[in-house]
Amino acid sequence: MKNERILLCLAHMSGREMEFIKEAFDTNWVVPMGPNVTGFEHDLEAFVNRREGKKPLDKKVVCLSAGTAAVHLALIACGVGQGDEVLVQSFTFCASSHPITYLGATPVFIDSEKESWNMDPELLEEAIKDRIAKTGKKPKAIIPVALYGMPYQIDKIMEIANRYEIPVIEDGAEGFGSNFNGQALGTFGEYGVLSFNGNKMITTSGGGALICPDADKAREILWYATQARESYPYYQHEAIGYNYRMSNICAGIGRGQMTIVDEHVAHHRHVQALYEELLKDVEGITMHCNPGPEYDSNFWLCTATLDPNLKIKNQENAYKQVITGAVGGAAGVTHAASVAVTDCQPNDNVEALRMALDAAGIESRPLWKPMHKQPVYKNAPAYTNGVSEALFATGICLPAGPWVTEDQVRYIVDQIKASIM
């Protein structure tokens, strides 16, 4: 076990992906369009439109190059532009808020409530009233997030959004397969964002999709995603478009993944249940669970919080060394840090547990750092209550992917227990 590193969420193939990829090569559909893209969109529509005990919805899906692209195009579709404001959950990955800035608009960050860890409805309404009073106009959109797959308080958020007539863009990048009252995340708002990055519930290696309310709006999104051309025999552009369409090769991977998506979701939920059972009597560690029967998280990652008073071995050595590279499975290039600490970081016992698990061959990581505490957003308006900062200080993500076995979960829990003083 010690020689086999356990990763947070590693892509798992069905065995059929190569069938669709080979078909694309054999027919020379090696472009950002084609039968796999269309087929994947139809598969996704069938998946997100199903409802427990009710008639299926009729949402349309457009496959794109990334979940970030989906956020960007949804904002455009909602009319967001220079000088506008968008209300966005602070406790999230940066892709929820960065596209707002692409359009010259300002993100207004909303803190979380304690139950789902997502956007606080009371703070949301407070922010709407305050922004209207201060700017003389309503924010252009609301972006709640399904953090680690957990549904947000959809009924309350949607009621507020509908009352103020502000469109909702659901960031379901981490919530594919999650449901609220038997309905898929991403189908409640005007638009719903999906991500198929390499570590998500299903993968296309890189890619995403946008759930749209109807065929006309899906066609408009597709127009923007394919350079926004006019119908002349030459390239005529009257609006700024983008190269955001998903590759037919990547879509082939997605079609293979859709054959096992239900199994993936079931596995993540099984892993969560096992963590809950094995850690229920461990004092000072609390798993984050569904807050009520209407919530049905996919548990993309399993998360827990540590009591600040819980002592972890070698805790005194936390943050003693400057980390100059990416931690764990983080992809891409990082700038080397010049100091070991910042003014907002996980507690020493959380970092000590991360280091202990790392030494035992287990990948874990802190929760997302709230966007309102990120230096790049230091001047952005924020409506806070301390919840996301407290969760960031005490929380940790544990492996949950389809490659994680029951024996590995038991090993992880054993290592957690062994690290406690």
Q: How far apart are CA 319 and CA 342, in angstroms?
A: 10
Q: How far apart are CA 49 and CA 36, in angstroms?
A: 20
Output the pLDDT for position 316: 95
Q: How far apart are CA 153 and CA 163, in angstroms?
A: 16
The ranges assigned to domains in the chain are 17-260, 262-419
Give the CATH class of 17-260: alpha beta
Output the pLDDT for position 333: 80
Output the pLDDT for position 330: 55
Residues 29-73 pLDDT 10s: 998 999 999 999 999 999 999 999 999 999 999 999 999 999 999
Q: How far apart are CA 333 and CA 133, in angstroms?
A: 42
Output the pLDDT for position 3: 63
Structure tokens at 378: 């230091």
Cα separations in angstroms, 323 against 39, 338, 339, 364: 44, 9, 8, 16
Give the CATH class of 262-419: alpha beta
Structure tokens at 311: 């002592």
Taking alpha carbons only, the member of 45, 39, 105, 36 closest to residue 71 is: 105
Output the pLDDT for position 387: 98
CB atoms within 10 A of CB 241: 16
Taking alpha carbons only, the member of 130, 224, 124, 211 closest to residue 166 is: 124
Q: Which residues of the chain have pLDDT under 50?
A: 1
